[in-house]
Amino acid sequence: MNKITKIHTDNAPAAVGPYSQAIAAGGMLYTSGQIALDPATGEIVGDDIKAQAEQVMKNLAAVLAEAGTSQENVIKTTCFLKDMGDFGAFNEVYGAFFTEKPARSCVAVKTLPKDVLCEVEVIAVL
């Protein structure tokens, strides 16, 4: 039977509901979606897609590091955008962070928590 480990770091926003920042199981890491929250203040960072996407990537990097992995080991991402008109600007930030080009889904959604502009979750190899 595989061991399941809940991952938590103070360097990423704490879960605000009944979920974990990430779960490690079977040599894989599954993160919850990260939004542009500053982990120290709990406030939204930035008012444009690039600034918010940069904070999302910082939060993901912190969760990945806590689990002992990194963005180079991410095999799948799911990206949620408030407005598909932000797709190009989001991709600039995303592409600088995910240089190994994992598989990805990217969809526009009606609303996101705290009315942020983007949210990203990942699956990574440990």
What is the DSSP track for 40-100?
TT-PBP-SSHHHHHHHHHHHHHHHHHHTT--GGGEEEEEEEES-GGGHHHHHHHHHHH-TT
Which tokens belong to 44? 């939204």
| Active-site residue, selected from the candidate residues 89, 106, 112, 126 | 106
Q: Which amino acid is at 103?
A: A
The whole-angstrom separation of Cα 22 and Cα 69 is 12
15 secondary structure, DSSP code: P
Is 82:23 a contact under the CB 8 Å cutoff? no
Q: Is 106 a catalytic residue?
A: yes
Q: Which residues are catalytic?
A: 106
